[in-house]
A and B are shown apart, each in its own frame.
Chain A
């Protein structure tokens, strides 16, 4: 579903080159729920923005749904984002001037979908996240957890092949976070492919597979001698 091979992302200034990702390799199969963890500045969000075609990369290859997306122009990338990818952001990123219904409608508008089909999909998505009754409410009238549910509904409405979540519970209290996480698990059980970036080892542990990024590279904590002892200690804490 998502395969990056020897991918690199370099930010260049006149005096310095900074590698955000270096020889980055990842292969996410269809239907997988993958948690991406790593310390701040390790390149998690850069990985996610490249995976979501929001940013270009410097080297390597990236296949999304068996399509090489390395050299697509902006329009083609926008079309793929619209049709194949759903985004869930830490800060929800709802548009404050639009009510819940209109927020969920945004990606469907860009797809050129007919009004009737849009309405069916929007109400279906809102029903799935339990907010159909709040369709006419504005984001400011909702709690953080409800706003994130709306964002999830917006991501689901277009029936994407891949769901990318960037710290989806980062701005929520424990109870709301649990609710959002349960929703993501339910969506995954229904067959969605989910890649979730998180700091939280507890949330990461609920994913099918964990990928760790350190200094712009995917590392195997259990095998890499640099992190082995720390990994064993952390694993013990989680189990405890």
Chain B
């Protein structure tokens, strides 16, 4: 019977074409506005690593004193070299990684090609496992490579395409800033959004990284950070390589993997003990001030979701609600104009429930048509997202299969909700009165 109602619903789209068109447009525009803003909001507010977000933490230590801290005596959002290396060497977590941003020039094979710029990270072996970096070829380097300061590199599939035409380049050599590295792995497509582990350097919505080299190797080569170097206004004197390395600035994020809440508490105790030890040793002249923030806690703390994204979502949902209120009125008008038909159907044996179901299905077909129009408008609207958002945010908006299903689903669901009252009114039509009035 539902299939029959669906058939009647499709047929009824042709009835009162003006009313139908108004309803389809109301739903279509409402859906499109909501889907466009949602497509941005879901990326910026989503959990970038759902299966591990409760197990990954960034470790923060106040290494400069309260006078340089953020509001609320919050410690800096990254560590200096000494603290970062000390935490990694302590090995108090199941996995721990540190990194900093690097920008290198890459010399392609063949003398005719111009050098390329490649951005990425100087990090350690745990980075790849902790952040679930997929590999197209090869894999991560080992802890032994870290210790040996090995000249190995991992490149992205994108860079691999540019340098080697997409072939398996593991074992081949590549030149970064006139230093030769052996390629040990090629990552698959990997672009977590937001890039939770690198909020500090402002790379939250940046293009995916191209290259990774061992942290120890980068330090040996004195490759400076291309990311943020927050000295918080403290005086910095860099007269030597040693002074450069040990400057008291925040530039190296440290992340640890802790499976349970108990592990996290133990690690926090360790951080506190470490800071207390530094205070006793005279390195810190302030009481321990440490933080351990999980992924979602960190994103929330950093206010990663752009305010315009949230506001535009609220506005578009509000617009959708207004469209739905209009749709209720239009459906009511459409259905009540058919009181005579309802009377006939009731006289011929339709129960109220059957009338209700029939009209709900008719509304669903209107929703389906509205969803289709909404999809077209969403696709068009995606081209104009840059008018609302910064380019790096706007590029995140795209129409994928899940959004397509969602647009249709939301349209049909909204039409069904809008039809509850009009369909109920239709089901209450008294057949006797309708037939008498004819």
**Which residues of B are found within 8 Å of A142, using beta-carbon distances?**
none
Closest A residue to B438 using CB positions? A91
Determine whether B431 belongs to the interface, using a CB cutoff of 8 Å to chain A: yes
B436 proximal to A (CB < 8 A): yes
Nearest Cβ in chain A — how far from B69, in angstroms?
72
In the complex, the answer to whether B436 meets A82 with C-beta atoms within 8 Å is: no
Residue contact B340 to A93, C-beta cutoff 8 Å: yes
Find A82's partner among B15, B349, B353 (CB 8 Å cutoff): B349
Given A91-B438, A97-B15, A78 contacting B346 (CB threshold 8 A): yes
Task: Compute how far the CA of A219 lies from the CA of B269 in the bound complex, rounded to whole angstroms.
Answer: 101
Report how far A81 CA is from B347 CA in the complex, Å: 7
B394-438 toward A: CB 8 Å interface, digit per residue (1/0)?
A: 000000000000000000000000000000000000111001101
Alpha-carbon distance A49/B1, docked complex (angstroms) = 27
Asked if B11 contacts A109 (CB within 8 A), the reply is no
In the complex, residue of chain B having the shortest beta-carbon distance to the beta carbon of A91? B438
A95 at the interface (CB under 8 A from B): yes
List residues of A (81-97) whose CB comes within 8 Å of B's CBs. Answer: 81-83, 87, 89-91, 93-95, 97
Interface residues of B in 298-349 (CB under 8 A from A): 340-341, 343-349
A93 to B340, CA, bound (A): 8
Q: How large is the interface on A (under 10, 10 to 19, 20 to 34, 35 or more residues)?
A: 20 to 34
Check if A55 sits within 8 Å of B432, measured CB to CB.
Answer: yes
Cβ of A203 < 8 Å from any Cβ of B? no
Known: A55-B432, A93-B340, A95-B344. A78 touches B350 (CB 8 A): yes
A79 interface hit (Cβ, 8 Å): yes
- A107–B432 CB distance below 8 A: no
User: Which residues of A have CB within 8 Å of B353?
Assistant: 75
The secondary-structure label for the interface of chain B is helix
Tell me if A78 and B436 are in contact (CB < 8 A).
no
In the complex, are the beta carbons of B431 and A107 less than 8 A apart?
no
Do A45 and B436 touch across chains, with their CB atoms under 8 A apart? yes
Q: Nearest Cβ in chain B — how far from A12, in angstroms?
A: 15
A94 to B435, CA, bound (A): 12
> Given that A54-B432, A97-B12 are known contacts, is A83 also in contact with B349, CB under 8 Å in the complex?
yes
Q: Are A78 and B351 in contact (CB under 8 A)?
A: yes
Question: At the interface, yes or no: A172 with Cβ under 8 Å from chain B?
Answer: no
Chain A residues, Cβ within 8 Å of B351: 74-75, 78-79, 110
Candidates B11, B15, B354, B430; contact of A110 at CB < 8 Å: B354
Q: Does A214 belong to the interface (CB within 8 Å)? A: no
Q: Which residues of B contact A106 (CB under 8 A)?
A: 344-345, 348
Are the C-beta atoms of A82 and B12 separated by less than 8 Å?
A: no
**B346 / chain A contacts, CB cutoff of 8 Å:** 54, 78, 81
Min Cβ gap B175→A in Å is 74
Are A154 and B348 in touch, CB under 8 angstroms?
yes
Q: A interface vs B, CB < 8 Å?
A: 45, 49, 52, 54-55, 74-75, 78-79, 81-83, 87, 89-91, 93-95, 97, 106-107, 109-112, 154, 166
Interface, chain B (partner A; CB < 8 A)? 1, 4, 11-12, 14-15, 340-341, 343-354, 430-432, 435-436, 438
Return the 8 tightest CB-CB contacts between A and B, nearest first.
A82-B349, A55-B432, A110-B349, A49-B432, A54-B432, A107-B348, A91-B438, A78-B351
Question: What would be 10 A-B contacts, judged by CB atoms less than 8 Å apart?
Answer: A49-B436, A55-B432, A78-B350, A78-B352, A81-B347, A89-B344, A97-B15, A110-B349, A110-B354, A166-B435
